Amino acid sequence: MSLPAAIELRDARASMGGRAVWSGVDLVVRSGEFAAVLGSNGSGKSTLLRAILGLVETAPGTVSVLGSPAGGANREIGYLPQRHGFDSTLPIRGVDLVRLGLDGSSWGVPLPIGPRSAARRQARERVREALELVGASAYADRTLGELSGGEQQRILIAQALVRRPRILMLDEPLDSLDLPNQAAVTALVQRICRAENVAVLLVAHDVNPLLPYLDQVIYLAGGRALQGPVEDVITGPKLSELYGVEIEVLRTRDGRLVVVGQPEAPHVHGHRHD
């Protein structure tokens, strides 16, 4: 069956502080597809997620999310921002953080005491399911400060998942994880993508831990974007064209991809001015 696009960008242009981060971007991600967002630092990967959330201006192009303009369907998006500023020593349990993902944006306060209504039971059940889905049930009652990086990441993914979103956007969830945990979290995301028919956008630095799981990649460089299956996009000619300099893609014997000749971020910035 041909599903309508979960995320669709047409000639989108994102600007921050008057400067275009990328422009002329056309993308389509469908439900149940797992796409990685790749590119060097400053190429606008996080900006892409923020544009899909409607937090970044994209005129004159259009961004449509589940048939609505960007920002109109944010309730259907599970979003895990980059966690640079996240205070992991906060005295809060994983289960509470996941619960906030479920109803934290609703006004009003559920009374801490009083009858346990059906709604409360349902909410608790949903939180339990989400924790189970990511395999975090065993440590969800500990405070975040007591958890390892991988455990925290699972809790945060559970938070993004708890409302059964139709789109899941994870900004560098593999950052600061060791290799086994990177593989485990990626496998988990792919499983959710398939089982719940969720469109997944995962921002990453390195494509290699993702290779066995991806349906496609979105490669951002030089102010433009390229989308397609890994073997079509991560090639010497394609990346050379994107970056505007000679790039070589090597494949190691165990199937890993090595991109050689990538200009550093400042260089890419230079190309952006047209």
Binding region for other proteins (CB under 8 A):
53, 55, 74-75, 77, 79-81, 85-86, 90-93, 95-97, 99-101, 103-110, 112-113, 123-124, 127, 140-143, 159
Report the amino acid identity of residue 249: V
Work out how close the CB of 37 gets to other proteins at its nearest, in angstroms, rounded to a whole number. Answer: 16
8 Å CB contact between 204 and 174: yes
- Residue 169 and residue 201: Cα distance in Å, rounded? 5
Closer residue to other proteins, CB minimum distance, 106 or 252 = 106
8 Å CB contact between 193 and 33: yes
Peptide bond into 60 cis (omega under 30): yes
Work out how close the CB of 128 gets to other proteins at its nearest, in angstroms, rounded to a whole number. Answer: 8
Of 52, 77, 78, 4, residue with least CA distance to 225: 52
Closer residue to other proteins, CB minimum distance, 60 or 108 = 108
Closer residue to other proteins, CB minimum distance, 100 or 183 = 100
Closer residue to other proteins, CB minimum distance, 146 or 215 = 146
Work out how close the CB of 90 gets to other proteins at its nearest, in angstroms, rounded to a whole number. Answer: 6
Closer residue to other proteins, CB minimum distance, 139 or 213 = 139
Closer residue to other proteins, CB minimum distance, 73 or 242 = 73
> What kind and span of H or E run contains 12?
strand 5-16
Residues 6+ apart with CB under 8 A from 235: 249
Work out how close the CB of 83 gets to other proteins at its nearest, in angstroms, rounded to a whole number. Answer: 9
3-state SS class at 112:
coil
The secondary structure of 212-273 as a DSSP string is TT-SEEEEEETTEEEEE-HHHHSSHHHHHHHHTS--EEEE-TTS-EEEE-PPPHHHHHHHH-
Positive or negative, the CA dihedral 64, 55, 109, 125 is positive
Closer residue to other proteins, CB minimum distance, 53 or 214 = 53
Distances (CA, A) of 20 to 13, 16, 27, 254: 7, 6, 17, 38
Work out how close the CB of 243 gets to other proteins at its nearest, in angstroms, rounded to a whole number. Answer: 30
Work out how close the CB of 160 gets to other proteins at its nearest, in angstroms, rounded to a whole number. Answer: 8
